[in-house]
Amino acid sequence: MYRQHVKLARPIRAAAQEHRTRERLFLRLEHEGNVGYGEVAPQPQSLHGDPSGYEVVEAVRRAITKLSEVVSREGGMPPWNHVARLSAATSASNAAAALLEMAVLDRELRAAPCTIEALWPESYDTPRQVTFSLLGDEPEWSVEPGVERVRIKTAPGQLNRRTLERLSRLDVPILLDFNCSASVDNDVLHQVEQVSDVATIAAVEQPYDVGDIADHARLASRLEVPLSLDEGVRTLRDLSQIAKNAAAEVVCVKPARVGGLANARTMFAKADELGLRAYLGGFFESPYARRVHRALAHYCVSEPSDLDDVAVLDGSHEVDAIDVSAGLEPSAAMLAEAEVLSMA
């Protein structure tokens, strides 16, 4: 297991934290001469139900022990889409299962050999979503061609004229992301009214705390735009409760949060069945994991999603090209500079 710390080329401030640096965990898994890589990018500290990097590392060690027991008992590596069953259904073990599952999948595709597109044929030309913030001194926003939605990090409060002018220059719909920072409906409704005068709002995302279905359902009934949930989307039961209570129309599914790619795929199908519009979100992963996530998104997601590579300072040697699997792997140069973590 390797730990890499990267500096983001464009820091993003959310309501409760500023993303300037991020931790990325890589797992190199070798079995019977075949190698596979997994990756997750945990937060520095636990927040809104998501685990810290330390918690994920400890959960990975426990998951590896379980995997070793399975391999010893069964006489071989389990299929990649069975790895999520090793999770203990905590936030940290879900992230650990996602890391381990990606490594098992990569190893399986390399051993075949097979490409990820053969596993997940492209069904959608999934649009791109990018993220900006109203909460810091960000440089001027630049929306590249092909981006169909912008997530805007915000918090309750009156928006000034300069902020509204910046929003007015966006020519694509915006997702107004409160990151669990609101406490009363009127804070959200007032800001939505302000922004609606200058921009098109695609949805308002996660104003209240994780698990607060009742308050989200009440607010959704008062909003004239869709409500989206992000931090509150972790399980199939969450999706059922959201749909049952009309607490949102849009949901964000993050593979590392829900226990991996197989679980994410199941949740996309369930969301569609329930009439919820689901998009794929990310946690500042390297181009390697983003490439795997893009393949999954093009297989089963029509909503704008977090598909672009994350710009980091001195990120020129993050990945190497290969001919199988996702077409990329964590570069030897990057791993040589990363911290090596004991599995004990």
What does the pLDDT average to over 164-193?
97
Confidence check: pLDDT of 343 > 90: no
Tens of pLDDT, residues 87-97: 888 999 999 99
CB neighbour list of residue 216: distance below 8 Å, 6 or more residues apart: 207, 208, 227, 229, 232, 242, 245, 247, 248
Separation of alpha carbons 289 and 246, rounded Å = 33
> 290 and 171 share a domain?
yes
> 125 and 147 share a domain?
yes
Tokens of 122: 């492209």
E strands, the chain, in order: 2-13, 18-31, 34-40, 128-133, 147-153, 174-177, 201-205, 227-229, 250-253, 277-280, 319-321, 328-330, 339-340
Residue numbers of the domain that contains 296: 120-300
Tens of pLDDT, residues 271-308: 999 999 999 999 999 999 999 999 999 999 999 999 99
Tokens of 38: 């997994």
> 140 and 278 share a domain?
yes
Report the CATH number at residue 241: 3.20.20.120
Please report where in the chains the tokens 């999934």 appear, as a residue: 126
E strands, 118-207, in order: 128-133, 147-153, 174-177, 201-205
In a domain, 321, yes or no: no
> 336 and 289 share a domain?
no
> 20 and 83 share a domain?
yes
> 200 and 252 share a domain?
yes
Give the per-residue pLDDT at 165: 95
In a domain, 323, yes or no: no
In a domain, 310, yes or no: no
Tens of pLDDT, residues 181-233: 999 999 999 999 999 999 999 999 999 999 999 999 999 999 999 999 999 99
> 92 and 139 share a domain?
no
> 255 and 158 share a domain?
yes
> 124 and 85 share a domain?
no
Separation of alpha carbons 156 and 61, rounded Å = 40
> 145 and 282 share a domain?
yes
What's the domain count of the chain? 2
Give Dmax over CA atoms of the chain in angstroms.
65
Band of pLDDT at residue 80, cut at 50, 70 and 90:
very high
> 105 and 208 share a domain?
no
Phi/psi at 254 (5° precision): -110, 120
Tens of pLDDT, residues 301-330: 999 999 999 999 987 789 999 999 999 999
Give the per-residue pLDDT at 127: 97
Which residue, 27, 122, 109, is CA-closest to 322?
A: 109
Report the CATH number at residue 34: 3.30.390.10
